[in-house]
A and B are shown apart, each in its own frame.
Chain A
């Protein structure tokens, strides 16, 4: 609405002239454009404020973008921006094509030249401003060079040339270059109202006021994607959220859920949740309900798109929801602030909001509006889907199945033997360096010394005399977990020391860590050592490893956190995991078979 735009404009001007950051971090934006963009600074200030930043904005002179980039002493560089917004309208870049029809070859040549030119300009900006990101606006086509020619392939129309330019422009994104895809946005929301021809003639503005506000919002959206941590779990209520009606009163067979009408809206909501799960978001349930009644719906109602096993954890009880969210967070090993809580009841939402820092959006009252609401919920958006996202969802599912098996096994040793764990311990090698370094950087909980070695340091250990680094990979009946552990042994004469011992927390409590320690003892003994030292260096997060060496049969030394194992009496390896080691294989050994 124009009124909203006018209001934002006034608010943005106020923000730009205010000295009070209100505790918000400052972000410096340099805007480079090929046409008048005077409305963008105030709207950008508003959009930035919504993302929690105080914007400082510098707008370069009309159509000065090339000069500003090419001149190392220009105001652009002196301003030292955090974000460079670059908007070159196709109508300006291809001005010549708009002045008269050009043959196809010439158009293709022009597109190539402009893309090369743009790539080198961006390269200049990123190298001169080594910390700044470039928000490259993919411009919507506001006018075609030859609209009177209707055939899509007619060179006079210019459509092919412009589309190939835009797709090439998108290809320039990556790293610190973020494509702000205004063109794609416009295709979805309509490009018809973006321009106001009167403003073009009066002020050389290619965008109307509201369109400029839309663009600022879009830039804010990309900023948010880069700055905010993505939500990791969706925690859902059941009655009137996952299905229509109350299971305990209406009965599983009379719920609103199915292929038609409002029931379809609920079903679609479930499908959207399933898509989130496939993208690596954990699903959990938090519902005031009788547990058996709730599962009956999952088991019997054919309208359910989600199954029990899609959920990693649940609290179906009559306890306070905030409490339940906290205990779900503990179970899943996540912070509660990474939860999005979806509940139809405003009272429950308010209660949760007041007590835990989870994100609690106002779910629309109309179930028909909810699937779209969920799709558009920014907390789940991200710039790119990583391989890790896909793997994570698979890992979570396998973990859930393992947990199910754990609760169905009578004893821990039953459980462990049903897992059929096989650990493979190998010397660190070039192919495993990257993963080892990643574990070193990321592992907090089961990490005895928390020494953060990088890839370079680890690689120098490959050939260092007196140093041996080992990786542990683990397979079980549910699949391959890959490399989950790293240990570094320092050998010097009769005494060896465990410099580093860490395990990914997803395999802890399954005796693998003890099997690893037992292997280290044997490896140290084989190399001639008589005793093995282990050290626990406490951090804020590794409290659970405080007594690890004592449990592994080491005895405490005088110095706190120091343990010693006499290698003439190595305790037997723990049950529940079969260990294959490739110790003794000379490095480099090549294959991993």
Chain B
């Protein structure tokens, strides 16, 4: 479920279709996912899930699965009571 939503967010940021983003997408493998697109993606994720990502996460979440992991970690760090 998170993956589908994440692909939609990516599609919005990279200005492409969600169907064109493969499960193993990574920085550089999808048009628009360049260094600036990557930062924009991080901002969009923070806004979507109301989480705060660390610089470490931003620097290392360079594949779609890694991005997912960091979102899950950030949601956990927030604790259940903050969840929307």
Check A209 against B15 for contact (C-beta < 8 Å).
no
By the criterion CB–CB under 8 Å, are B40 and A6 in contact?
yes
Residues from 48 to 82 in B contacting A, C-beta threshold 8 Å: 53-55, 58-59
Interface residues of B in 9-53 (CB under 8 A from A): 12-13, 15, 35-36, 39-40, 43-44, 46-47, 53
CB <8 Å contact, B36 and A209: no
Q: Is the CB of B47 within 8 A of A3?
A: yes
Which of B13, B35, B36, B47 is in CB contact (< 8 Å) with A2?
B47
**A287-334 CB contacts (< 8 Å) to partner B:** none
Query: When the two chains form the complex, which single residue of A3, A38, A202, A209 contacts B55, counting CB atoms closer than 8 Å?
Result: A202
Whether A209 and B43, one on each chain, are in contact in the complex, defined by CB atoms closer than 8 angstroms, is: yes
A3 to chain B, nearest CB (A): 6
Q: Give chain B's interface secondary structure class.
A: helix
Interface residue? A188 (CB, 8 A): no
Closest CB of chain B to A212's CB: distance in Å?
11
- Taking CB as reference atom, which chain A residue is nearest B38? A202
In the assembled complex, which residues on chain B have CB atoms less than 8 Å from the CB atom of A505? none
CB distance from A57 to the nearest CB of B (A): 15
Residues of A within 8 A of B53 (CB): 198
Residue of A1, A14, A38 touching B36 (CB-CB under 8 A): A38
| Interface hits, A201-257 → B, CB 8 Å | 201-203, 205, 209
A13 in the interface, Cβ–Cβ < 8 Å? yes
What's the least CB distance linking A421 to chain B, in Å?
Answer: 68
A5, A14, A38, A198 interface centre (most CB from chain B within 10 Å): A198
Complex contact A10–B15 (CB within 8 A) = yes
Q: How far is the CB of B3 from chain A (nearest CB, A)?
A: 20
Nearest residue (CB) in A for B59 is: A202
- State how many angstroms separate the Cβ of B45 from the closest Cβ of chain A: 10
Q: Please, which residues of chain A bring their CB within 8 A of the CB of B40? A: 6, 9, 209
> What residue in chain A is nearest B13 (Cβ atoms)?
A6
Chain A residue with Cβ nearest B54: A198
Residue of B nearest to A4 (CB): B47
CA distance A38 to B46 in the complex (A): 20
List the A side residues contacting B15 at CB < 8 Å. 10, 13-14
17 A-B Cβ contacts within 8 A? A2-B46, A6-B13, A6-B40, A6-B43, A9-B40, A10-B12, A10-B15, A13-B15, A14-B15, A198-B53, A198-B54, A201-B55, A202-B58, A202-B59, A203-B35, A203-B39, A205-B39
Please provide the 7 A-B residue pairs with the shortest distance between their CB atoms, ordered closest to farther. A2-B47, A198-B55, A38-B36, A209-B43, A6-B44, A201-B55, A3-B47
Q: Taking beta carbons and an 8 Å cutoff, which residues of A are in contact with B? A: 1-3, 5-6, 9-10, 13-14, 38-39, 197-199, 201-203, 205, 209
Question: Measuring CB to CB, which residues of chain B are less than 8 angstroms from any residue of chain A?
Answer: 12-13, 15, 35-36, 39-40, 43-44, 46-47, 53-55, 58-59
Supplied contacts A6-B12, A10-B15, A209-B43, 17 more A-B pairs, CB within 8 Å: A2-B47, A5-B43, A6-B13, A6-B43, A6-B44, A10-B13, A13-B15, A14-B15, A38-B36, A199-B39, A201-B55, A202-B58, A202-B59, A203-B35, A203-B36, A205-B39, A209-B39
